[in-house]
Structure 1
Amino acid sequence: MTWTFPNILTALRLLAAPLIAVMFLFFSRPYADAVAMVLFIVASLTDYLDGYLARSWGQVTKLGAMLDPIADKAMVVIALMVIVAFSSLALWIVLPAAIILFREVFVSGLREFLGDTAGTLKVTKLAKWKTATQMVAIAVLLSQGIFEHYLGMWSWGMDQAMVADILNGAAPDELGLRPMFHAMVWAGNGGLILLWLAAALTLITGMDYFRKAAPFLKD
Structure 2
Amino acid sequence: MTWTLPNILTVFRLFAAPGVALAFALLARPYADWLGLILFVTAAVTDWFDGYLARKWQQESLFGAMLDPIADKAMVVIALFIVVGYAGMPLLLVLPAALILFREVFVSGLREFLGDTAGLLKVTRLAKWKTTVQMVAIAVLFVQGVFEHYVGMQSQGMDAAMLNDVLSGRVADDGGLIWKYKAMLATWYGGSALLWLAAVLTLVTGADYFAKALPYLREEKP
Question: Could you tell me how far apart the structure 2 residues matched to 1:58 and 1:133 are?
Answer: 28
Indicate if the aligned counterparts of 1:83 and 1:90 stay in contact, CA closer than 8 A.
Answer: no
Larger deviation: 61-70 or 20-29?
20-29
**Cα deviation, residue 88, structure 1:** 4.2
Indicate the residue corresponding to 2:214 in structure 1: 214
Q: TM-score, normalised by structure 2?
A: 0.97
Alpha-carbon RMSD across the aligned residues, in angstroms, is 0.9
**Cα deviation, residue 90, structure 1:** 2.9
Indicate if the aligned counterparts of 1:143 and 1:187 stay in contact, CA closer than 8 A.
Answer: yes
Partner amino acid, structure 2, of 1:71: A
Question: Is 1:85 aligned to residue 75 of structure 2?
Answer: no
Question: Could you tell me how far apart the structure 2 residues matched to 1:117 and 1:144 are?
Answer: 42
Secondary structure at the counterpart of residue 64 of structure 1 = helix
Indicate the residue corresponding to 2:66 in structure 1: 66
Indicate the residue corresponding to 2:15 in structure 1: 15
User: 1:106-117 to 2 correspondence within 5 Å?
Assistant: 106-117=106-117
Any gaps of 5 or more consecutive residues in structure 1?
Answer: none
Question: Could you tell me how far apart the structure 2 residues matched to 1:4 and 1:47 are?
Answer: 15
Question: Could you tell me how far apart the structure 2 residues matched to 1:218 and 1:2 are?
Answer: 40
| Deviation readout 1:86-123 (Å, 9 max, x if unpaired) | 11463311110000000000000111111111110011
Secondary structure at the counterpart of residue 32 of structure 1 = helix
Q: TM-score, normalised by structure 1?
A: 0.98
Question: Could you tell me how far apart the structure 2 residues matched to 1:167 and 1:160 are?
Answer: 11
Question: Could you tell me how far apart the structure 1 residues matched to 2:138 and 2:66 are?
Answer: 24
Question: Could you tell me how far apart the structure 1 residues matched to 2:94 and 2:121 are?
Answer: 27
Secondary structure at the counterpart of residue 23 of structure 1 = helix
Indicate the residue corresponding to 2:196 in structure 1: 196
Question: Could you tell me how far apart the structure 2 residues matched to 1:189 and 1:24 are?
Answer: 23
User: 1:87-126 to 2 correspondence within 5 Å?
Assistant: 87-88=87-88, 90-126=90-126
User: 1:160-199 to 2 correspondence within 5 Å?
Assistant: 160-199=160-199
Any gaps of 5 or more consecutive residues in structure 2?
Answer: none
| Deviation readout 1:156-179 (Å, 9 max, x if unpaired) | 222211111110111110111000
Question: Could you tell me how far apart the structure 1 residues matched to 2:45 and 2:128 are?
Answer: 14
Question: Could you tell me how far apart the structure 2 residues matched to 1:90 and 1:8 are?
Answer: 36
Aligned residues: 219
Larger deviation: 62-71 or 154-163?
154-163
Secondary structure at the counterpart of residue 195 of structure 2 = helix
Partner amino acid, structure 1, of 2:15: L
Secondary structure at the counterpart of residue 170 of structure 1 = coil
Distance 1:184 1:88, change over 3 A: farther
Indicate the residue corresponding to 1:27 in structure 2: 27
